[in-house]
Amino acid sequence: MTNSQPKHPLMIALDFQTQAEVETFLKQFPHPEQLTVKIGMELFYRYGPAVVKAIQQLGCAIFLDLKLFDIPNTVERALSQLGELGVNYVTIHTLGGATMIQAAKRGLTTGAKRARAAVPHLLGVTELTSISPAGLQNEQNCRLDMTDQVVSLAHLAQQAGCDGVITSALELPALVDQVGVDFEYVVPGIRLQSDAAGDQQRVATPQTARHDGATAIVVGRPINQSPEPGPAYDRYLKAWSKQ
């Protein structure tokens, strides 16, 4: 079975090039078993399932963020493999459509059952937080504005079997109002007011995200590039935990 999932996790993005860097980083936390961490493409493409198993041995809950996007059969077969890993969350792109999302859910369930593990939460990526409204209109040629596009994709994800979506905090009020509270909203692009936004276009503070309905947040550079990651994590966790 997978690790139990915190009700409102603060997920740390493990944006490192090597497994050794990851292990050095995580050893700075006295209780890594209390952490939820995000493994992305960079680490997984280099090490594959081995890096997942190494981090699981430290007790961390794992958000495997690979953003699958392909024809339904390919996605179903890939998610069947990922479902065996005992991770807590996986991602797909909602732009793949309802048939792809349904196939992803089937594959994930099949793989988890084969491994006798809990089925990971399936999260659909809406629009990346690096996409600006201008990029949405001029590069993706989308006729909807950003909020309507994200809400539309979230409805699609919910109806096709996702447990939640990845979204910027700016769309949260509309999502909660139109999609509902019985759905997970995982929000990257989180920064304290004292931290730089970097390449994120649609950012918010932990307090704002929690107030507007986020069920989880993802924090990267402000923690993983901090000279003191433990205290940096504690600052974000304190802000995130405020009601």
Predicted local distance difference test score (pLDDT) of residue 159 = 98
Predicted local distance difference test score (pLDDT) of residue 1 = 39
Instruction: Give a yes or no: residue 120 inside a domain.
Output: yes
Predicted local distance difference test score (pLDDT) of residue 5 = 60
Domain that holds residue 178: 10-241
Of 67, 105, 238, 242, which residue is the catalytic one? 67
Residue that is written with structure tokens 């936390």 in the block = 29
Predicted local distance difference test score (pLDDT) of residue 3 = 43
What is the value of pTM for the model shown? 0.91
Instruction: Give a yes or no: residue 4 inside a domain.
Output: no
Instruction: Give a yes or no: residue 59 inside a domain.
Output: yes
Binding site membership for substrate: which residues?
15, 38, 65-74, 129, 191, 200, 220-221
CATH number at residue 122: 3.20.20.70
Domains identified in the chain, total number: 1
Predicted local distance difference test score (pLDDT) of residue 176 = 97
Q: How confident is the model over 21-35, as a mean pLDDT? A: 95
Where does the pLDDT of residue 2 fall: very low under 50, low under 70, confident under 90, or very high at 90 and above?
very low
Of 34-38, 107-111, 138-142, the one with minimum mean pLDDT is 138-142
Q: Does the annotation mark 67 as catalytic?
A: yes
Instruction: Give a yes or no: residue 2 inside a domain.
Output: no
Instruction: Report pLDDT digits (tens) over 178-191.
Output: 999 999 999 998 98
Instruction: Give a yes or no: residue 114 inside a domain.
Output: yes
Tell me the three-class secondary structure of 64-92, residue by residue: EEEEECCCHHHHHHHHHHHHHHCCCEEEE
The answer to whether 33 and 58 have CB atoms below 8 angstroms apart is yes
Binding site membership: which residues?
15, 38, 65-74, 129, 191, 200, 220-221
CA angle 144, 178, 146 (to 5 degrees): 25
Instruction: Give a yes or no: residue 3 inside a domain.
Output: no
Q: Which residues of 106-121 are buried (b: 16+ CB within 10 A; e: fewer)?
A: bbbbbbbeeeebbbbb
Predicted local distance difference test score (pLDDT) of residue 14 = 98
d(CA 174, CA 178): 6
- Token pair for residue 196? 């730089």
